[in-house]
Structure 1
């Protein structure tokens, strides 16, 4: 039916709010509870991207948010549909990604009475989002969505949930007929009371729904550091002999500011380690950027600036920073700024903007910092030489370091890397050099496996002209394989490289050493490429080192023709990451 020919319904109100927010893609797995939203979104030119697992919808929305700086949007059906998103929601929350999840729900008059897929969804979702909106009237649908977008971006970004019951989404005449059929035509007092109640309930649902909603887009103010914190930080830097900057994902939450942030970091002249979404901020070969021996550098630095990351397990709960150093923490979250280690200067503000303000206030970097930077660069070069030597070692199959060095050499200069795995992906973080800002996506602090397919889907749709690579561990790829069906159907030409060492190697390394048992850590040399081919993608198998370069070249060629590709690479075991278990 033509959109103009059918009666207006609540799905139109939702779609109009999405359109007002500039949403280009709506990620979904279909369900009768949300069908009107999908139909109305399509009618308004919003691309509806359907996948095979509800978690994928949120992962894809998360990636879109990270790369665009605007909330990504997912819509899933009631009950199990919502339940299946919980891991992805928690991942977005801990990664501080602005995501709007729209969930269906049972009819308002039947909730709590055993309706299909009816559960109390608020307790399930509430711990993992900034707010739950439970909409009770059709006229409140669009305002709730507009508030959700603003809240997702405000302060510390994060996911927001909007519950839309099915009887708010279909047109009024149809819903009234449903209720009339449910009430029946009995003449008893109970029957008449039920009809009266349902008629009154329907009137409340649709009261005022004909009036056009106000679709004013709210852009939350960016939190800026106070003058006192900025002055104290500048004073500490001017005194410093060995300053160090560690930049995390929150520093690049304003995607549009990434280039300005890179320029500011360069002007500061402080040696810098980049982590999470900040990886690649300075390009591949910037002289200030350090990649190795971060723990040692933190212990030697006399002034440490943590911008957009907390002292969690990744910094050994603050113990990597020596007690005598001046610690400056810039973070939108007061809790994160003080987590495990109280800073000498706390700038509760956007970390990226704080770095820009510091660069403007500091002026030229003191000449005495050059020797410190050179010391760290020398260490980096020595570690690179060690990695090169380890990559040259031959084995029965493919050395993972050699594979990743070849991938780093051949990937396009605009390539985006998506990391989904344990040992193989952690190894990649030492070898691969993201080409520019916002060119690396990993799950973040939650360490979630299974993000790869959704992240790649969102990344390719956000940046359709760029080359997108998924780095899959063979354990992690089990979650994403089914989405090759989605890639093929949607024309999403990503390249996946599976590091296939037939095991959950990151766990096995320490488990076998500590317990003498490899139980539940052993996988097979599974033919993942054949599974991808079964979905209509291209599948390539690499068993030996001499096959790597031709396979990567072929994968790029196929992807450039619009075909998704999976390259299944049999890896040798290595000792590169011994002692790497995190707690």
Structure 2
């Protein structure tokens, strides 16, 4: 009979789940898995930091809608990955993290890199398990993938001690289960009817589509629904681009400070249909909506319905299935001409807001206005290109001007507000889409977290172009200190001038510095034309304060961030 090791079982189980890429840094506790990968068709992407490995796996899940896989070695390898895991939890990203650990007979003996890992990670994952019998490795991996995919997606954690990975047994002893299928269900039909009736009574309804709409593949049904009903739509989180911003009934992200119809639409709507999103900070915990507005909340996770604000109607189920039900139930009852005046009001609000913002968008000032930088990048990129966004103020500015025309083409941290995601996200996007252009826009502070992933890009031949919004500071924090304590009372926020482009050149990439706005586009053309990892170091104005900085300055004050909007 053939013998098989625990490491080989891991790889075989991952192949069964159709895993094509794994993100990791090597470590002694993972040796049996690494050895087995040599004889497999799985691509190992080895990074320069475990945080990056987890963030790359996170991005892979966002891009493919399948769980990303990260391998962490024991102890410091495990702890280095925690930030990436927490980021995936807050964003609802399906992630399978497999970690090595000290041998079972060495637990508690002060062995090298021994930590209570599973106890530490439990609050940050949907599901966790420690495997102590090598024969159960395939079953545990099957369960891990099921848990990551089922219900509201999220990260899961599987721990396999070194001796279990290295153990050898007869192939016939290995336990397997038939893979479980994730079942997608719709909502209670009576509640669907109640939703349609509520929308039928509305004068100013809006739809807000979030990550649940993206991961359920609801784009087609969402477009049919808004076209059948004439109800205007906003997007948020991974839902951005599920309906193109170019669609006449899509008014882009429901980001209150974005120049557009967001503030008008969200504050004046009388009925709000929430599709696969949560009432978090981004909606001021539900307070952004009129206090008399009636909410219909559709979500796959029952615990999220009613958080921060009770809906009039709750719809528990898969967003795509729920839209199918609403399309059927609303046919002939919800008519587009009912909301024409409301749509015209939103179009006027959008036009007026953009006109007011035009001066910043077209600013010729030197140092460069950060909004002008973001506008130039957005105009340069096509709908087929990919963009990763990283940084504090940088993320706010980019979200204020980004055109979302395709779902899954813009990657950002989300609710965790995690810096350092930009380069790892860019790596995954370029691996997943080798024939597409991939850009990263990042603050100079955020750039420092995972800068050496430029080396990963160079090793793998990934021509990602990174644009640095360089205000020579931790800009958002600096601005929030200025707002709270005065311009002369800032501390720990100045970074000074750093020629980041020269650092990339030293590694073997393309680098260029830009100090004038009309040179941004030519620099982008040269950077993409270089066909290798590139960095454009754009020097921007330090003292322009974003709405995000205003919100950050409100932390700790009575009412929290609510008062910042």
Global fold match (TM > 0.5): yes
Residue aligning to 1:219:
181
Residue aligning to 1:570:
539
Inter-partner Cα distance in structure 1 for 2:497 and 2:14 = 44
Residue aligning to 1:182:
none
> C-alpha offsets along residues 307-361 of structure 1, whole Å, 9 cap, x if unaligned?
1222221111111112221111111222222111010011122234323432343
Residue aligning to 1:196:
none
- Pick the aligned partner of 1:26 from 14, 22, 26: 22
Inter-partner Cα distance in structure 2 for 1:450 and 1:288 = 34
| Alignment pair present for 1:52 and 2:48 | yes
Contact kept? 1:29, 1:77, Cα under 8 Å:
yes
Inter-partner Cα distance in structure 1 for 2:60 and 2:133 = 30
Equivalent residue runs for 1:276-425 within 5 Å: 276-291=237-252, 292-363=260-331, 365-425=335-395
Residue aligning to 1:427:
397
Inter-partner Cα distance in structure 1 for 2:418 and 2:31 = 30
Residue aligning to 2:432:
462
Inter-partner Cα distance in structure 2 for 1:501 and 1:433 = 24
- Taking structure 1 as the reference length, the TM-score comes to 0.89
Higher Rg: 1
- Pick the aligned partner of 2:232 from 271, 278, 301: 271
Contact kept? 2:388, 2:411, Cα under 8 Å:
yes
Structure 1 residue runs of 5 or longer lacking an equivalent are: 1-5, 173-205
Contact kept? 2:479, 2:543, Cα under 8 Å:
no
Deviation at 1:275, TM superposition (A): 1.2
State how many pairs are aligned: 540
Inter-partner Cα distance in structure 2 for 1:225 and 1:95 = 23
Inter-partner Cα distance in structure 2 for 1:491 and 1:435 = 28
Residue aligning to 1:10:
6
Provide the alpha-carbon RMSD of the alignment: 1.9
- Pick the aligned partner of 1:230 from 192, 206, 215: 192
- Using the TM superposition, name which of 390-399 and 38-47 deviates more: 390-399
Contact kept? 1:148, 1:161, Cα under 8 Å:
yes
Inter-partner Cα distance in structure 1 for 2:458 and 2:153 = 32
Contact kept? 1:265, 1:356, Cα under 8 Å:
no
1:268–1:534 CA distance, 2 compared to 1 (3 A): farther
1:581 alignment partner, SS class: helix
| Alignment pair present for 1:538 and 2:510 | yes
| Alignment pair present for 1:498 and 2:459 | no
Residue aligning to 1:97:
93
1:28–1:387 CA distance, 2 compared to 1 (3 A): same
1:576–1:260 CA distance, 2 compared to 1 (3 A): farther
Inter-partner Cα distance in structure 2 for 1:322 and 1:565 = 46
- Using the TM superposition, name which of 133-142 and 39-48 deviates more: 39-48
> C-alpha offsets along residues 421-452 of structure 1, whole Å, 9 cap, x if unaligned?
11122111111212311111111111111111
- Taking structure 2 as the reference length, the TM-score comes to 0.91
> C-alpha offsets along residues 510-532 of structure 1, whole Å, 9 cap, x if unaligned?
31121122212222221111222
Contact kept? 1:78, 1:118, Cα under 8 Å:
yes
Residue aligning to 1:547:
519
Deviation at 1:171, TM superposition (A): 4.9
Residue aligning to 1:188:
none
Deviation at 1:257, TM superposition (A): 4.5
Contact kept? 1:21, 1:217, Cα under 8 Å:
no
- Using the TM superposition, name which of 93-102 and 214-223 deviates more: 214-223
Residue aligning to 1:198:
none
Deviation at 1:376, TM superposition (A): 0.7
Hey, which bits of structure 1, 4+ residues long, moved more than 6 A?
A: none
Deviation at 1:264, TM superposition (A): 3.8
Inter-partner Cα distance in structure 2 for 1:409 and 1:299 = 29
Inter-partner Cα distance in structure 2 for 1:38 and 1:259 = 41
Inter-partner Cα distance in structure 2 for 1:154 and 1:84 = 27
Contact kept? 2:369, 2:540, Cα under 8 Å:
yes
1:149 alignment partner, SS class: helix
Deviation at 1:39, TM superposition (A): 2.6
Contact kept? 1:415, 1:435, Cα under 8 Å:
no
1:299–1:546 CA distance, 2 compared to 1 (3 A): closer
| Alignment pair present for 1:247 and 2:216 | no
1:568 alignment partner, SS class: strand
Inter-partner Cα distance in structure 2 for 1:501 and 1:304 = 39
Inter-partner Cα distance in structure 2 for 1:32 and 1:257 = 43
1:285 alignment partner, SS class: coil
Inter-partner Cα distance in structure 2 for 1:537 and 1:352 = 43
Inter-partner Cα distance in structure 2 for 1:105 and 1:510 = 42
Inter-partner Cα distance in structure 2 for 1:29 and 1:271 = 46
> C-alpha offsets along residues 378-426 of structure 1, whole Å, 9 cap, x if unaligned?
1111122222222233322222222222212221330111111111221
1:141 alignment partner, SS class: helix
